[in-house]
Structure 1
Amino acid sequence: MRGQRMRDGLRQAWANHRHLVALAVLLFVGNQALEWAILQGLGASHAQLCRHDCGWYTSVMDHGYQRTPSGHARRDAANWAFFPAFPWVAKGVGLALNLPAATAAVVTSKAFLLLAVFAFMKLGALYLPRLPALALGAVVAFSPYALYGNVGYTESMFLFVSCVFFILLKQERHLAAGLVGGVLSAVRVVGLFAFVSYLVTMVRDVRQRRPVAWDARLFGALLIPLGLACFMLHLHSVMGDALAFSHVQVAWGRSVGNPLRVLFLGALGGGFSQYLVVTVLLALGAVGFCWRRNMPELAAFTLFGIGLPLFAGLLSMPRFVFWQAPVLLLLAHLVSTGRVWLVALPLCTLGQVVMYMGWFSGKTWTF
């Protein structure tokens, strides 16, 4: 009887989502076709995609976390800065498919890109049902920064897991949301801010005098920091510093500064620094967009999710901004307005070409 109910549930889920699944696959295939064409034009291959930070993830896959720093010319860098969820999943994929670490990392990031396209379209259907699914999926699959979903980085996993978290939160499945939030906090440090979003929904329900199942809600909230806590405990057991993921950032020239000063100096800097400031302003625009549309949990996630990395500087900001679901919701809204897509599509295609060129030529703005 239970097996029959499960089969019926799966059939119903497929019936409800088959069109989104088909569209997600179509957009993903389009992304892969564009990547193939770019690689052919650059004389590169898929085997060369895993480079830069992908090498750090593969070091976690092959050897675990280091006891002492050994990277960079000054031998002051270590893989402690790279959170465990993605490399551990990629290691499982490598073992299952008998793939070397670099290939497994790339395959895993691509698989998460496909899942992220689907999950983001589902998220958009719940929060902003008037947005067309094609626009939602396209801003993920054809963004210039879709590069990071193809090269063994954690960004595509972060978007997928964060979308699942907010879908469950919207559906008021609080224990499941807390469990997924725990995974999210082990994907990237900013995943911890799912806790803030979770609390925002609790406060909203109390203010609206909605019935609150406090036992389930509180237990779900406590699950969210567990991913980060487990990582910290592991680092402490390996090399004696639970905050090594933060302390090792100095090896990449990052130190804690005033975010307002960072923005001010960026605005006064050259063209690329000013572009990075614009990406921050775009994220702040997404915060306002979500707030005005009564989505405070999404607004809070992006506000804190870009605020924390801003303390360390602007250089990696696009990787934080353009893989934030609220920012992508704003972009999907803009793209679906009138004929904006006629301009956006060729610009995004050109942007992907530029990103891949920078990636293979070692430009620091792609790392």
Structure 2
Amino acid sequence: MNPLSITDIRLTRKDWLNLIFAVIVSRIVIYALGLWGVNMFMTGHYAEQPLLQTVCRFDCVWFYRIIDNGYDLVPQWLGQKNAANWAFMPLQPFLGWIFSHLTSFENPINNYRFGLAFASNLAFLFSIPMVLMVLKQLKISAATRSTMVWILCFSPYTVYSSAGYTEPLFIALVAGVFLFSYRQQWFWVAILGMLAAVTRNLGVFLVFPVLIIALQHYGIQSFLRFKTPALKVLAAIWVIPIGFFSFMTYLYFHVGDALAFGHIQIAWGRQLTNPFHWLMFGFETGGPKLYLTIMALLSFALNIYLVVRKYYAEALFMFICLILPLSSSLNAMPRYAFGLYPTFLGLALLVERYPNIKTPMLCIFSAASTFIAIGFFGHHFFTV
């Protein structure tokens, strides 16, 4: 299989019907069962909150604070008043602000909550055809592509694609970067890569897989001799970090620290250290931490599988996006894994090679997605 060949990536009518049906069914199931679970099993304050407040939790709250008041001048949040919203990149709040104009609730915060949820659902809708086109580019079979639509829609952490988070947007943009890299369309690589880097800061590391794919296309001699195709690649690589560096510049003039987005992570107990420390911590602590550890290890196993299948660019990006968060905490590791295009590529390759696993995988994923949706809407931190 040659991932660098050009092929017809247009989706068929059957593809679109399957996609639309899966999206509608999954959104109904996630919202209906998630909110029903909160009503049935949760008690106290979080069981009695209004709908939009129930949906817009955790990171979504930080996003609407950015929409409402911009980026903080000083830390002022959480119990110790040592947290600020500098850790959150600007594209998702910007989209939430745009779509907040679709509603006119008396409380403007509800407009922002709606806008953020609408933005994440819309991004999710775009992410699926983008991933499908990538799989078609890589000559993954139609049967596997059809299965992957449902795996995407019912992935264990799909609730985040309904709750104002950046995961679906990041998947769509990163998948687009890889797709256009395969097809040597470097202008779109630059644009989508730049947007990915202001969606999540790890998007800036797309420069490395883009370079790897370009080297596979043109060879190192093309770069050493500064031939035209290589110059286009280098231009794209320079463009990808522009938005991210612009955000750093803004933070420097706004709060006096260009790296404030990283330094403020200490408010959530995150400091870079040996990732093996956190794995051992998970095994020793047990409970939810053990679950997070197991999920992290399974993610790295899938990462290794990409290497075995010779998808080096995808594997490198996945490794970076896993090892950096793990170096500071176990928290959110499953969500980070299921918010990556390479994760779903790895799952597609497994389904393609071992088709008998698709039914058990879909059953497990569907059950997990419902359980996690109930936990998320019920404000349980293990889902974060």
* 1:7 alignment partner in structure 2: none
User: What is the correspondence of 1:57-72 to structure 2 with a 5 Å cutoff?
Assistant: 57-72=63-78
Structure number with greater CO (CA < 8 Å, separation at least 6) is: 2
* 1:91 alignment partner in structure 2: 97
* 2:260 alignment partner in structure 1: 244
User: How far apart in 2 are the matches of 1:339 and 1:238?
Assistant: 54
Amino acid of the residue matched to residue 123 of structure 2?
Answer: F
User: What is the correspondence of 1:1-367 to structure 2 with a 5 Å cutoff?
Assistant: 16-38=11-33, 39-43=35-39, 46-47=51-52, 48-95=54-101, 100-130=111-141, 132-207=144-219, 213-335=229-351, 337-367=354-384
What RMSD, in angstroms, separates the aligned Cα atoms of the two structures?
Answer: 2.3
SS in 1 for 2:163: coil
CA contact (8 A) 1:235 1:244 kept: yes
Deviation of 1:46 after TM superposition, in Å, equals 4.5
User: How far apart in 2 are the matches of 1:52 and 1:328?
Assistant: 25
CA contact (8 A) 2:194 2:241 kept: yes
Query: What whole-Å deviation, never above 9, does each CA across 1:187-229 have from its counterpart, x for those lacking one?
Result: 1111111111112123334547677612211111101111211
Query: What whole-Å deviation, never above 9, does each CA across 1:248-271 have from its counterpart, x for those lacking one?
Result: 111111111111222233233314
SS in 2 for 1:289: helix
* 2:43 alignment partner in structure 1: none
User: How far apart in 2 are the matches of 1:14 and 1:175?
Assistant: 18
Amino acid of the residue matched to residue 167 of structure 1?
Answer: L
Query: What whole-Å deviation, never above 9, does each CA across 1:125-178 have from its counterpart, x for those lacking one?
Result: 112522622222122100120011011111111111111111111111112202
SS in 1 for 2:198: coil
SS in 2 for 1:144: coil
CA contact (8 A) 2:151 2:362 kept: no
Q: 1:36 to 1:175 in 2, by over 3 A?
A: closer
When normalised by structure 1's length, the TM-score is 0.90
Q: 1:263 to 1:135 in 2, by over 3 A?
A: same
Query: What whole-Å deviation, never above 9, does each CA across 1:336-357 have from its counterpart, x for those lacking one?
Result: 5343233223322221222122
Percent identity among equivalent residues? Answer: 25
User: How far apart in 2 are the matches of 1:331 and 1:46?
Assistant: 33
CA contact (8 A) 1:168 1:177 kept: yes
User: How far apart in 2 are the matches of 1:343 and 1:14?
Assistant: 29
Amino acid of the residue matched to residue 371 of structure 2?
Answer: V
Which stretches in structure 2 are left out of the alignment for 5+ residues? 1-7, 40-46, 106-110
CA contact (8 A) 1:93 1:108 kept: yes
Which stretches in structure 1 are left out of the alignment for 5+ residues? 1-12
- Number of residue pairs the alignment of both structures matches: 355
Q: 1:280 to 1:127 in 2, by over 3 A?
A: farther
* 1:3 alignment partner in structure 2: none
CA contact (8 A) 1:283 1:302 kept: no
Amino acid of the residue matched to residue 186 of structure 2?
Answer: H
Instruction: Name whichever of 33-42 and 86-95 sits farther off.
Output: 33-42
CA contact (8 A) 1:147 1:355 kept: yes
CA contact (8 A) 1:139 1:332 kept: no
When normalised by structure 2's length, the TM-score is 0.86
User: How far apart in 2 are the matches of 1:208 and 1:69?
Assistant: 47
Deviation of 1:66 after TM superposition, in Å, equals 0.9
CA contact (8 A) 1:136 1:329 kept: no
CA contact (8 A) 2:155 2:369 kept: yes
User: How far apart in 1 are the matches of 2:244 and 2:318?
Assistant: 19
